[in-house]
A and B are shown apart, each in its own frame.
Chain A
Amino acid sequence: METKQRKVEVPVLADLLAKGEKPEYLLWVGSAGAFDDRYKHVSRSFVKVLDFIGTSYAVLGTEESSSGDVARRAGNEMLYQMQALMNIEIFESYEVKKILTCDPHAYNTFKNEYSDLGGRYEVIHHTQFLRDRISDGSLNIPGDALEGSTITFHDPCYLGRANKEYKAPRQVLDALAATKKEMGRNMSFALCCGAGGGQMFKEAEKGEKEVFIERTEEALGTGADIIATACPYCMVMMTDGIKYKNKEDRVKAYDIAELVAQALEL
């Protein structure tokens, strides 16, 4: 049987407003989501799922800018606050109430940090959104999805330790038929991928090993053929780690949004 294909248009907030429409969620794509070649695929997968569910959402498009998270953690509080105040102004102008994002760093900074500067929103990480849609029945994942695969989940620091969200990503993975294997260091004990705090953009300090290799080795040690992540930094690091260990043929790093899109055969 031939499956019909259909184009997905990603709604932009300014366009919707011009038509007098107001979406429920602002989808914050993030710089990696918009520009990183690997992570663009995650953004594309996630909007496919949003489209599939029929979620009312829109993106800022060319009005989006850096959340300021990385500047802040690298010590540039001045630049962070400039970005934050600018973003808050834009959110206000569109009367944004709910922000949806795949990036735990943006999630953390919007949820916990923007409030100090006057920006208060309900912020939802995409794993939480997917978990809620599965449990309210609006997202039905076929029972045999990804059967035969083995998935290990790498906890992003800013979803896990920073915001104590360990369950949502695992609950989404539980909807897949694949076998799940935990790494020795998981949840609040999880080892960082090595990219946070500005490390993503700079050479690592001198040491015996790169953090992403240490973590990838641990993930590979589970025997999983899929390393699931839920963060753009983790995705880059796990993908690089798999390459470094020459395991690209056998093991893949996927974001949870991509796994859901795969499961739905979108």
Chain B
Amino acid sequence: MEKQFIFLATLLVTLLAFGYTTRRYVGFFKITRGGFPVKQIGRRIGVMLEVAIGQTKIFRRPILGLLHALVFWGFLVILIGSLEMVIDGLTGQERVLSFLGAVYNIIMASGDIFALVIALAIIVFLARRIFLNVKRFSGIEMKHISHLDANVALTIILVLMLSLLGMNTYYVLATQQAGHGLEGVYPVSQLLASRIDAGAHTSELLYQVNWWIHILLVFIFANYLPYSKHFHVFMSVPNVFLSRLEPLGKLDTMESITKEVKIMMDPDQAFASPPEGEAAEEETPERFGVLDVEDVTWKNYLDSLACTECGRCTSVCPANITGKKLSPRKIVMDVRARMKEKGPGLVKKGAEYSDEKSLIRDYISEEELWACTLCNACAQECPININQPALIVGMRRYLVMEESAAPSELNSIFSNIENNGAPWQFSQEDRMLWAEDIVVNDKSQ
């Protein structure tokens, strides 16, 4: 009974803390702009199965991709065991899911093997971060705290796996020594148990100790994640499900602009009375493009929360590769950081709230934004379908349409296109000159 009570108390604390964090994030989502509507559920499930569950994009780097996929698949299996532990903890039973029989054996056996595999993979990941100088783990956006965060999260996972193996091993020993039947199959732990010599009392104690370490660490990890880059453990599957389904080359059309352009092209419309309900809704015209974090869509913000800071985007960015300041990862991280800074004020004081700062300039310089070639290599590479170019174009739109702050060469191509329908200063009348005097060798006979 005592154990159940303590367990219930810790579970409640965990859930309350998690609820508090979640409410904050939900509040932040409310101040973002509408993006695309979520339709085509069937297709979305397909994308989720392929990219998230199947890990297809992470396999673009096959070796580390495989290690990551094993960790992910392992987590899925081990998650079932964690759920069982929660039920056990609340009901005071032991191995409550064992009624599943053969299925239970398979789940436990694969969880046990995965625990070892994940532990080994995490050691490789930690070693890469600590001992190897991997270029994609550095960059102006990667502050000391980012590295610390990564290492803390990886260490927690390592301890989670070791405590799981410890728990299983001493469970095997304890049941053997007590003469009870073993529920489940534990290939790794049974091997370990056969090499350990421990008294019955010690086995039972160490089983309990590992059980508590493991489950408490699960609770702590769950509450650490929302403040960590490892939030992707929760966010990446939903983020992939909510992927933008359009081709990478398609930019979103700004409907507010369409209205203005149509009025310009057909002045009669300007004097026609606007449809009622609509006019009432739009008292203050929406800002064109993205200046600050309240201008991003819910999807842009979701992307920023799901970002793992893996840097695959930046490592394939042509601007970044050639030493320019632009780093797509930084753009995404800046959105998250800026929301953390300005979001609470916006939630409290409404859309008018200002802290005299903005995403553009205080976080992201114009130099970064203008260095992008819109090649979509970053979006192609992102293992969880983050769309970095959408943000960059959003901010360019603000600079161009609200501030006319494009580089001067771009301003001149704009005026050329307006005046003569081409980025260069050639007359539209000369558009057929290329076709003069084309001669071919006649092959028709």
Contact = CB atoms under 8 A, between A and B. Distances in A.
B247 A164 contact: yes
B323 A209 contact: yes
A4 B441 contact: yes
B413 interface: yes
Contacts of B248: 161-162
A17 interface: no
A82 B440 contact: no
B323 A158 contact: no
Contact of A191 (B318, B324, B410): B318
Interface stretch (B121-129, B160-168, B401-409): B401-409
Contacts of A85: 261-262, 265
Q: What is the interface residue range for chain A against chain B?
A: 35 or more
Contacts of B318: 191-192, 194, 211, 214-215
B374 interface: yes
A157 to B, nearest CB: 4
B393 to A, nearest CB: 7
B440 A51 contact: yes
A78 B260 contact: yes
Contacts of B434: 29, 33-35, 40, 43-44
B394 to A, nearest CB: 9
Nearest to B422: A31
B376 to A, nearest CB: 5
Contacts of B261: 78, 81-82, 85
B251 interface: yes
A65 to B, nearest CB: 3
A202 B423 CA distance: 12
B397 A62 contact: no
Interface string A195-223: 11111111111111111011100000000
Interface string B433-445: 1110111111101
Interface string A65-85: 110101111111111011101
Interface in B387-438: 393, 395-401, 406-407, 409-410, 412-414, 417-418, 421-424, 426, 428-435, 437-438
B134 to A, nearest CB: 19
B431 A29 contact: yes
B316 interface: yes
Interface in A199-258: 199-211, 213-215
Interface in A47-95: 47-48, 51-52, 59-62, 64-66, 68, 70-79, 81-83, 85-86
A264 to B, nearest CB: 8
B410 A194 contact: no
Contacts of B374: 73, 157, 196-198
B368 to A, nearest CB: 8
Contacts of B424: 31, 35
Nearest to A112: B250
B322 A208 contact: yes
Contact of B247 (A40, A81, A162, A265): A162
B249 interface: yes
B323 A197 contact: no
A188 interface: yes
A73 B324 contact: no
A71 to B, nearest CB: 6
A196 B392 CA distance: 14
Given A5-B439, A196-B375, A79 B247 contact: no
Given A43-B434, A157-B376, A192-B377, A77 B401 contact: yes
Contacts of B393: 73, 75
Contacts of A117: 253, 258
Contacts of B429: 62
Most buried by B among A8, A196, A197: A197
Contacts of B377: 157, 161, 190-192
Given A7-B437, A34-B422, A66-B422, A191 B321 contact: yes
Interface string B371-385: 111111101100000
Contacts of B433: 34
Contacts of A209: 322-323
A10 B438 CA distance: 9
A12 interface: yes
B191 interface: no
A5 B440 CA distance: 6
A10 to B, nearest CB: 4
Contacts of B430: 34-35
16 contacts: A3-B442, A31-B421, A40-B434, A47-B435, A61-B432, A66-B423, A70-B417, A73-B374, A74-B400, A76-B400, A108-B247, A164-B247, A191-B318, A198-B413, A202-B410, A209-B323
Q: Closest 10 A-B residue pairs measured CB to CB? A: A162-B249, A75-B396, A208-B323, A65-B421, A197-B374, A192-B375, A207-B323, A75-B400, A116-B253, A112-B250
Given A60-B431, A195-B373, 16 more contacts: A64-B421, A65-B421, A65-B428, A70-B417, A73-B374, A74-B414, A77-B288, A81-B254, A82-B261, A162-B249, A162-B250, A194-B322, A197-B373, A197-B374, A201-B413, A266-B441
Interface of B: 60, 246-251, 253-254, 257-258, 260-262, 264-265, 288-289, 316, 318-319, 321-326, 367, 370-377, 379-380, 393, 395-401, 406-407, 409-410, 412-414, 417-418, 421-424, 426, 428-435, 437-443, 445
